[in-house]
Chains A and B, each alone.
Chain A
Amino acid sequence: MSAPQTQELDDLIARLAQCRFGESHALVCDDALAAALLAALHVQQPGQAVVLDFRTSLLSNLRVWENLILPAWYHGHAELQVLEQRVLAALRPFKLDDEGIAALLDGLPAALSATRKQELVLLRTLVLAPRYVLVEPAWLRRVRQTPLGAELWQAIEATSVVLQLGEGAAPDLPVIGGKRPEQGQE
């Protein structure tokens, strides 16, 4: 990165540090800066940021419960027993009985529908409870189409600082990094 870009990144990190949980912002910077920001946030405190976009998926060689706790367990955010409680608490909006929960958690992601996988990606984010969530607006729009997805997203929004990436970010959001294009400009 060039010196001005490094300065821009440092400024952005400083501004982010002042954000409070529950705030949402638009991050309209170039991709390189956003990627550098993600890397810097992971270096600063591993696991404090996640990206949610169309690339985000569950790992097919792990059972659902392993997928749900993986990032939090890897980054050492909590012990297994605590993570288990978090998973069960986060599963409440799914309105499943004990058998349903056991079947879901013991299954493999390959057996699930695309919508269910998306909901579980949101659940994994809830279990990790990252400080920053970098989300692609088009992915977010799709997630919000289902009531369960919308409910899970609301829970994530309340406990994180959400950064909507790129020019597709909701127009009413304050811009924290970069600049929105002028009206009529490509």
Chain B
Amino acid sequence: MLPLPAYSRTLLQSIADLRRPAVRRVLFKQIYFTGVEALLLIVLIGFSLGGIVVSQLHDQYGQSREASLRLLADISFGELAPLFAALLLVARSSSAVASELAAMKAHGELDSLVEMGIPLSSYLVVPRLLGMTISSAALALYLSLSIMLGGALLSSGWDVGYQVFQLDRFLRPGMILLSVGKAALFGFMAAAVACRMGLVARPYVTEIPKASSRAVMRGMLAVFVTDFLCVLAS
């Protein structure tokens, strides 16, 4: 069989290929699977997490609603939301991406794409990287808002409406930007690890679960190490 040529595309060329509708379709599918389908799950987790953290804060620091919510906002936007969103993303999407790519490799579908002149970096990698990065940032935002809602409900009970309208007292634009930026970075790291694990897998069906498992474990490691470096840098 003909040895396949490697179409080398620079990162910029691969990003520029997003102008092609076929590539944008892959990007939108990735955002849908990662960012939209996980929405309900993320909101429920955030809501529960907010309640749990506020109940712990009440136990430790007394019954001040304002102090609890202020602390909850700092914790959730600064740390909890980006980290939890990235971990959920790794658990849900990294394994899916890695096993999908490993399966494509095992069934010769990657070779088929190359034979048709479709570069893997443009059609498979960049849309997944970008899709997971955008989705991670969005999920962290939903998560932090639902954490605040859960916390407000637990701390205020029936007065939750009043507390929700007062949330802008605790939220600063810098805090939200930091949360979204960190989550995007974690999502990018998780996606890069998942794509790599899927593409370097050997072309056998037995390698598919191994690639999936490696993507999850190494993805989590990448997220925690990146978070640790962010803490050191701040």
Residues of A within 8 A of B (CB): 31-32, 34-36, 38-39, 42, 46-47, 49-51, 53-61, 70-71, 73-76, 80, 128, 134, 136, 165
Contacts and interface: CB of A to CB of B under 8 A. Distances in A.
Interface of B: 1-5, 7, 20-23, 100, 103-104, 107-109, 111-113, 115-118, 123
Given A35-B5, A42-B5, A46-B117, 5 more contacts: A36-B5, A42-B117, A56-B115, A59-B109, A74-B118
Contacts of A53: 1-2, 115
Contacts of B113: 59
Give the 6 A-B CB pairs with smallest separation, nearest first.
A39-B5, A42-B117, A51-B115, A71-B116, A74-B22, A73-B22
Nearest to A52: B115
The SS class assigned to the A binding surface is mixed
Contacts of B123: 74
B100 A61 contact: yes
B116 A32 contact: no
Contact of B112 (A39, A49, A56, A128): A56
A55 B115 contact: yes
Contacts of B116: 47, 50, 70-71, 74, 128
B2 A38 contact: yes
Contacts of A165: 2
